[in-house]
Chain A
Amino acid sequence: MSVQIFHDHPADRIPVKRRFGRLALYAALGLWAFVCLMPIFWTLTTAFKTAPDVMKGHILPWIDFKPNWLGWRSLGLSPDTIAEPSSVRGEFLKRFSNSAVIAVTASLLAVGLGGTAAYGLSRFDYKFGFMKNDDISFFFLSQLILPPVVLALPFLVLYKSMALLDTRFGLILLYTLSVLPIVVWIMKDQFAAIPSELEEAALVDGLSIWGAFLTIILPLSLPGMVSAFIISLVLTWNEYFFAALLTSTHANTLPVMVASQTGSQGISWWSMAALSFAAILPLLLVGILLERFIIKGMAAGAVK
């Protein structure tokens, strides 16, 4: 059941009449678009600069300066070095795959656990000891308030004693925990929009509740699940705090690599820019291509 949140039809638009007002409106829009896109443009172009270009403050490629593969070469990702072995590229790819594996697994786990929990809470009455449905929902959502720093040091000690420090598995568990409340929040909204008559019909036809959930509800709620998954992916891909504390050499994620390079003085701007851009590129693409799902997920719960 997709609820249309944004109405792009001409009939939905509110007319802005005055011509001057329109001009100011576009100027403001353009200004903010510049504010949003400039740092991304700056990073992309700086990755193709050389030392004199940086020092002279050249900005526009081909007009101000001649693009150069220097930054990408230091990462082993330029056209002439891509075929040759490179330790930096190996390091980068290792971090990249760590980030990808951890973010995707944690998001899938969170959607699985949180989705079923949200479905149960939207359909059945529970009583766990003194906790009823509202209390259980609050129990899940209240985890959102818990700042990571409260869990960080206990986890450090526990993981150390369980030999989970510096493992992907350890980070996956924590990341699942941290995005779970958001998934429950989005999915509760999603399931509430699906009428329960659908399952009732299926149950009359002889399906079990899990059968009805898997064959009827799951396909219907897929857009919401995709939203929840993508938002989880964004949050876990970018997470830095836990990764910095709990990993050292094996399970480092991309943000940890970027941060460790940022700290060292004297690293050249062009390699740093290339590294930063490579780190943000996957999510830039996600943002551009899957914008609708992200917006849908974030709008869930805003409008009731």
Chain B
Amino acid sequence: MSKLHIVATQVDSARRLRLGYGLNAAASLLLLGTIAAQYLPLGLTNWRPTLYAYVLWAIALCASQVIVRGEQGKRVLFVLPAALFVASLALFPLVFGLTIAFSDWNLANPDGRQFNGLANIKQMFGDTYFWRSMGNMGWYVLAILAEYIVAFGLALMLNAEIRGRKFFRVAFLLPLMLSPVAVSWMIGKSMLENRFGPVARLLRSLGVDNPTFFGDPAIAKLTIMLMDAWTYIPFMMIMLLAGLQAIPKDLNEAADVDGARGVRRFFEITFPIMARVSITAILIRVIFKLKLADIIITVTGGGPGGATDSVTSFIYREYRDRSNVGYGTMLAMFYLVVIVIGMTGLIKFTNRWKGADA
């Protein structure tokens, strides 16, 4: 039953039905006609006309809903435009991408697309650089646990009785506002510069000889992790802070009466209550982490030797350097399958944990 009850008189007139279905049919014919015309030698150089015809078709579909279904159609009109938008911009390219993934297609090559069956998959299993980037993603995702601990600490501090809370909240939020590309220069290319960067200078004065941040594979990976953490810790911090502030006050009072203090109080009361919020925050953070690319593309370009590559930055270079659309798409599709399986498993697992907890 809908949350909102509406009693409306529905006038089903044959004329309205005819009008609605007629509109739909006309728009569909126009769309099909345009698609057919693209293949005719009419001098059409691109698929723009089909795009326009499709937009018209979508508008006609929405309008016919209201004409045919009346009140019910007006309700559908709330969701339909967004659903059509996502379906045509996400689902259609996804299906189209599958046809690209099984082909050898170099955009610079005039021969165009060549179907090559499973050759891309075969190539993928032999591509050590790709598997290295998959492995790196594992490390990058694991780093979220450390980010979570820091974010929780910050949220606890902001939740305590402090002066200048507003100042600290804004200051802690600011890194999230900055474009990763600008951060790449601000931190990666200037503050972490080997000769003149302030961090290198500080380390030298502490007795470290020739500090480098992107030369050694392990250190380079760690530096990328730190830069990404710097940008995104505020995100988890705010979700956790909202969770902390939603804890009922009488619970804290009860804890006071029971004499639960400090560390014990945190682990026996605060932390279990925060489990739900924590899981949500970590899951969303994992989703964002899986898209990590900007910093890597602009600071290290995947180096040294692929040690900092994320899957996204690897595929980006695969396209930029070799403009091989087919192989790149196959890698992306494989990545998507891994993500969907992994995330489904993770959500199932945490749901069970949440269920057992409640």
Contact = CB atoms under 8 A, between A and B. Distances in A.
Interface of A: 5-8, 12-16, 25-26, 28-29, 32-33, 35-40, 42-43, 46, 54-55, 57, 59, 113-114, 116-117, 119-126, 128, 136, 139-140, 143-158, 160-164, 173-174, 176-177, 180, 184, 196, 199-200, 203, 208-210, 213, 234, 237-238, 240-241, 244-245, 254-256, 258-259, 261-263, 269, 272-273, 276, 279-280, 283-284, 286-288, 291, 294-295, 298-299, 301-304
B185 A262 contact: yes
B115 to A, nearest CB: 15
Contacts, number: 327
Most chain A CB atoms below 10 A, which of B171, B172, B179, B252? B179
Nearest to B99: A154
Contact of A196 (B4, B76, B86, B316): B4
A153 B178 contact: no
Interface residues of B, number: 108
Contacts of A42: 186, 190-191, 198
A299 B240 CA distance: 8
Contacts of A184: 82
8 contacts: A8-B166, A42-B191, A116-B79, A123-B2, A136-B83, A150-B336, A154-B97, A299-B242
Contact of B184 (A36, A37, A262, A273): A262
Contact of B94 (A150, A174, A269): A150
Contacts of B182: 43, 255, 258, 276, 279-280
Contacts of A269: 190, 196
A161 B38 CA distance: 11
B264 to A, nearest CB: 15
A276 B339 contact: no
A6 B159 CA distance: 9
Given A5-B245, A29-B157, A36 B4 contact: no
B177 interface: yes
Contact of B89 (A6, A15, A173): A173
Contact of A262 (B75, B181, B201): B181
The 3 lowest CB-CB distance pairs between A and B, nearest first, are: A120-B78, A299-B242, A13-B161
Given A147-B290, A150-B335, A263-B298, 7 more contacts: A40-B178, A40-B186, A124-B4, A199-B4, A238-B178, A240-B179, A273-B186
